Structure 1
Amino acid sequence: MNDSPFDFVEHCLSPFLQKEKGIVAVAVSGGPDSLALCHALAHASVVKSLHVLTIDHGLRLEAAQETRQVGEMIADWPCVRHEIIKRVLPIDPATKIQEEARRDRYALMATYCAEQRIKQLFVAHHQDDQAETFLFRLAKGSGLDGLGAMHPVYCYSPDLQIIRPFLSVPKSGLVDYCMANHIPFITDPSNENRDFVRGRLRQSREILEEEGLTPKRLAVTAQRLIRAREALDFYADQMFTQACVQKEATFFSFAFDVLVKAPEEIRLRVLAKAMKLLIPQRDYAPRMEKMERLVMQVFEDPAFKKASLGGCLISYHYKTGRIIVETESGCSI
């Protein structure tokens, strides 16, 4: 891939690959983005073995056939091992079908990686996906953290990193890569299905671009928000340490007179961090509106005593001047 128009692929991958040959996994649906990533990893000199994971999500009749097609497409590529993982559909499907399928997909791949002792799982989210995630979360009322969208590296668990090397690459570039390397790919019609929020967002792209909201501009905005989030977390971590007077397995105790001097955003992040540490297995953080309401009650309502949110009980003890964040009765740690 040297001296070619597609040097960007190698440039994007190199920061995330180990110097010594290793074993990594990649999620491949059969679309141009994931196949471009798979092809690049398969031909990377430092990849010893590439586990290609394809989920039969069961959302479409063609899904099972498409998973087999992926195996046929990559059969001659170096160092690949294709694995088809079948998702068991819930008996009572949720209304958020795509969101539930996405969560199940990551859980299934994480389980596989744990069994194979694989530390890195590469996924092919690109610039268009980043822009789409930004808009999706904006519509849901996310705060700064949510609007920061996807990170290039996400610690799914202590033993597994999710790697997204293509967040700065437009999908058109990955399609061009596939065409130049004669890589066939599958088009998923559900990507444009207006029954799903993301499908509707994709179909509104032309209107947004006419107003200057291009995927590149939205992705750059998301990256700037990530930078702002990291700065706020830096200062929130310092305040967490300063204000925390007691730390146990089931609760944190904070000095009100220390925490009340911090800006509202820092107070919010301190309480949110305590809740996350107490219940790390929670899939989603509480909605931003609820966190904001909680912070306002704790620090501005003189009658506040206690409130529950996200599996935690937050209380203020006037005699000791302590804010207690603890797990609710019956909540597993």
Structure 2
Amino acid sequence: MQSLNVSANSETPDAFTAWFGTLPIVRDHIQSGHIAVALSGGPDSMALLHLLARVCPSQTIIHAITVDHGLRANSADEAKQVGTWVSSLHNVHHHIVRWEGDKPDSAIMESARAARYRLLEQFCVERGIENLWVAHNRTDQAETFLFRLAKGSGLDGLAAIHEQTSSPSGSVQILRPLLDVAKDDLTAWCVDQNIPFATDPSNQNTAFARIRLRQSMDVLAAEGLSEKRLATTARRMGRARAALDHFTDQAWAQVVTVQNDGITMDLHALATWPDDIRLRVIRRACDHVTMDREGFGPRLDRLEEIVDQIFTDHDFRAATLGGVLLRRAPGGGDRLLIAREGGKTS
């Protein structure tokens, strides 16, 4: 997919809508029936909703879902305002879902994100909706790359946001068609089209690491680390990840036996594969037994430490990793047993 400048000065609105309709992810997943769109009310999600409303078949029902996180005193009124803005769109039904209960004192953005996806997935599953459209864009991609780089992520983390993923339970496909479009261009298009949108005040709160990284973008761009270049690097990381996943699939088929109570792994066969494939197979096994479909899993440095012990320390017997017990089979053989911590392994 090529980057496209959609500002009013260079691309007409009709051309942008036409371009959007030709995207493979849009062509492959636009359908009659019901689809869902995450609608915060910001310029990116408002642009996505209007684009989908223009290219979807007339019989498609679009469910625009606004999550009220309850983190601001007027959040309920803000969510209702978003509904008013989209009330005239053909076949768009607006819904508000709320994050109920006590809110955490720390890691607020991370907790809000997890709650948001949980609520969006629940909405879709209850209505049999298979596709959830999300307005992550090139600016989000660049920020995510920087955020994960600062956290010391490996290749998987630096691949950043993927165009298509599964929800935590695997029941819903999450689709992101705007990853090659800058947020500023989406904002300009909304202004040109007289599409109202909200500005989130938390986007100026430097208490959040993502906001501080966002504010550093101008300095980085002056040194050549532009938003576009960062997003391109993330895309290339994603391509490399796909290649490694291909070989991880082959190694998995060769060395792994899945049982009801966990996984048995042939260490002798796994030792013939490169280090990164070993890491990926063992991490996938951990994700499998914990049912972590998003693959967040344990920290990479801890995983590397344990995998190194497994293959270099002849006295290695057992270790725990993110709620998973990894232990060598009794008798010092070449089998590694992996199960939930506190569970049973054969």
Deviation readout 1:79-108 (Å, 9 max, x if unpaired): 0110011111425x1410011001100101
Distance 1:6-1:322 versus aligned 2 partners, 3 A rule: same
Question: 174-183 or 266-275: which moved more?
Answer: 174-183
Secondary structure of the residue aligned to 1:43 is: helix
Q: In the alignment, does 2:123 pair up with 1:112?
A: yes
User: Residue type matched to 2:200 in 1?
Assistant: D
- Please state how far the C-alpha of 1:240 moved relative to its aligned partner: 1.2
Query: Structure 1's 5 and 312: CA in aligned 2 closer, same or farther, altered over 3 A?
Result: closer
Length-normalised TM-score, structure 1 = 0.93
Q: Which residue of 2 aligns with 1:323?
A: 336
Aligned residue among 240, 254, 261 for 2:252 = 240
AA matched with 1:273: R
Other-structure match for 2:196: 184
Q: Distance in 1 between matches of 2:292 and 2:154?
A: 21
1:173-192 residue CA offsets vs partner (Å, 9 max, x unmatched):
21122112110111111112
SS in 1 for 2:285: helix
Q: For the Cα contact (< 8 Å) 1:16–1:165, is it kept in 2? A: no
Q: 2:234 is matched with which residue?
A: 222
Tell me which amino acid in the other structure corresponds to 2:298.
Answer: P
Instruction: Give the conservation status (yes or no) of the 8 Å contact 2:64–2:92.
Output: yes
User: What's 1:129 paired with?
Assistant: 140
Contact 2:17–2:51 at 8 Å: present in 1 too? no
TM-superposition CA deviations, 1:255-299 (whole Å, max 9, x none)? 221111211101001111111111114773100011101111100
Residue 87 of structure 1 pairs with residue 99 of structure 2: yes
Q: Do the aligned partners of 1:54 and 1:83 also contact (CA within 8 Å) in 2?
A: yes
User: Which amino acid is 1:25 matched to?
Assistant: A
Secondary structure, in 3 states, of the residue corresponding to 1:267?
helix
- 1:293 counterpart residue number: 305
Change (3 A) 1:208 1:89: farther
| Unpaired runs of at least 5, structure 2 | 1-11
Larger RCO of the pair (alpha carbons < 8 Å, separation 6+): 2
TM-score by length of structure 2 reads 0.90
1:39-62 Cα shifts (integer Å, max 9, x gaps): 111222326100010011112223
Query: Partner of 1:55 in structure 2?
Result: 67
Do the aligned residues in 2 keep the contact of 1:6 with 1:177 (CA within 8 Å)? no
Equivalent residue, structure 1, for 2:221: 209
Structure 1 300/307 Cα, relative in aligned 2: closer, same or farther at 3 Å? same
Retained in 2: the 8 A contact 1:58–1:89? no
1: distance between equivalents of 2:106 and 2:16? 43
Tell me the number of residue pairs that the alignment of Structure 1 and Structure 2 aligns. 328
Which of 271, 275, 298 does residue 282 from structure 2 map onto? 271
Secondary structure, in 3 states, of the residue corresponding to 1:320? coil
